Structure 1
Amino acid sequence: MCGGRGTRLSLAGEKPLVEIGGRAMVDRVLEALAGSGVERAYAVVSPNAPETRAHLEGRVPTIETPGSGYVEDLDRALERVDRPALTVTADLPLLGADAVDRVLDRYGEGSTTVCVPAALKRELGVSVDTAFADDGRELAPTGVNVVGDGEDGVDVDDDVRLAVNVNRARDAWIAERIASLGANGTNPWGV
């Protein structure tokens, strides 16, 4: 999913093309998917991100959506792919192929929202834009989901690379710092 405006970042340019560790976030996510067990990847683009579409042209098939919002664009994209489908937002620049494979290995059936403890995001200092209570835990969605047919479930992971969504300038700064440390899923801040 790489067709959003990224208005919360308050940066010039398109969110998927923000560089972390010298590479565009969307490229980092595509690299993680390419190194994982994912069979085929598509970039879901919209009129909101024409530079991202041009950046990806010829590299990965694209699915054009209207850019009306995440849920509507996701629904439009899911009409074009088989299920179950793994969905990943382009604002996860620390995502690793091993984390993707772990999600795929733990998937059973239905749909799964991959979450991290909201406390982990707060300890890292990144924004918590959405959180919900589940079994007495406060969880935050990561931007990684498996969409299938059937019941919805939640998969909780403590991997810091899944906890860092770049939605604000501070998130980008933290992602840059973690990337420079070569984080492998453990908490680089020691918390």
Structure 2
Amino acid sequence: MDVLIMAGGKGTRLNLDIEKPLLQILKKPMIDYIIESLLNSKINNIYIAVSKNTQKSKCYIYNKYIDHIKNNKIKLLETEGLGYINDLNQCMKHFSEPFMVLCCDIPSITPKIINNVIDEYYRLKANFNNLESLCVVVKKEDYLGSPSVVMDEYVPQGINILSPKNGEQVEKLYIIEEPILNVNTLEEKSIVERIIKNCYNNR
């Protein structure tokens, strides 16, 4: 399965003069945590959607992963940067099979979580032939930050598997317990840094 990282947004909620993918989490750009976890997972190709809003991120990713180490698994896609749905729809043409979509602001994601999501999708697909997408969520009471989107009693984690088609898709939820949150505030940045520290300390 391939993956698409959405990294073309303005990241205005952080209110910082830095592109969101390059936000330093424990002295390391946030996008690095995600790419490194993907490279150590079952994922095949890594597509990263950038835009006019994230040209510094584009240069950083190209210089570090594509030009320097010649990693042909990582590919940059240029989008208009007009919003998540618009940019996602522009990227659909690059996929012919179900693919994972990740937000660029979930640095506490791990290879284990990524692999579990892939396995759960194929397990459900075997039982529900019409399944087209999977949305990874956590129970609202277990979410560690301030959710910007709530679906009934669940908070989406910025992790989805989609079929390569526009419009609504037949979807199921996958509830996880791992401590993941989207970094949209400085408070959430501090929380996710504690999560990552604990993760490394427990290895």
TM-score, scaled relative to structure 2: 0.82
Q: Which has the higher helix share?
A: 2
Give how far 1:105 is off: 0.3
Give how far 1:127 is off: 1.4
For residue 139 of structure 1, what is the aligned residue in structure 2? Answer: 154
Distance 1:155 1:148 in 2: 16
For residue 23 of structure 1, what is the aligned residue in structure 2? Answer: 28
| Matched residue SS, 2:53 | coil
Distance 2:100 2:28 in 1: 23
For residue 41 of structure 2, what is the aligned residue in structure 1? Answer: 36
Q: How many aligned residue pairs are there?
A: 176
1:47 aligns with 2:52: yes
For residue 100 of structure 1, what is the aligned residue in structure 2? Answer: 114
For residue 71 of structure 2, what is the aligned residue in structure 1? Answer: none
Aligned CA RMSD, in angstroms, stands at 1.7
1:128 aligns with 2:150: no
Q: Deviations over 1:104-148 (max 9, x none)?
A: 000024111111111111xx2x11110012xxxx00110000002
Give how far 1:170 is off: 0.9
Distance 2:176 2:158 in 1: 12
1:20–1:179 contact (8 Å) kept in structure 2:
no
| Matched residue SS, 2:118 | helix
1:11 aligns with 2:16: yes
TM-score, scaled relative to structure 1: 0.87
For residue 66 of structure 1, what is the aligned residue in structure 2? Answer: 80
For residue 104 of structure 2, what is the aligned residue in structure 1? Answer: 90
| Matched residue SS, 2:157 | strand
Give how far 1:21 is off: 2.1
1:111 aligns with 2:133: yes
User: What are structure 1's unaligned runs of at least 5 residues?
Assistant: 186-191
User: What are structure 2's unaligned runs of at least 5 residues?
Assistant: 1-5, 66-73, 126-130
For residue 157 of structure 1, what is the aligned residue in structure 2? Answer: 176
Q: Deviations over 1:161-189 (max 9, x none)?
A: x3x1101111111111222222699xxxx
Distance 1:184 1:72 in 2: 40
Which 4+ runs in 1 deviate beyond 6 A? Answer: none
Distance 1:88 1:183 in 2: 22
Amino acid at match of 1:88: L
% same residue: 30
Amino acid at match of 2:117: V
Amino acid at match of 2:199: G
Amino acid at match of 2:112: D
Q: Deviations over 1:18-45 (max 9, x none)?
A: 1112211111000111111001101110
Larger deviation, residues 65-74 vs 172-181: 172-181
For residue 190 of structure 2, what is the aligned residue in structure 1? Answer: 173
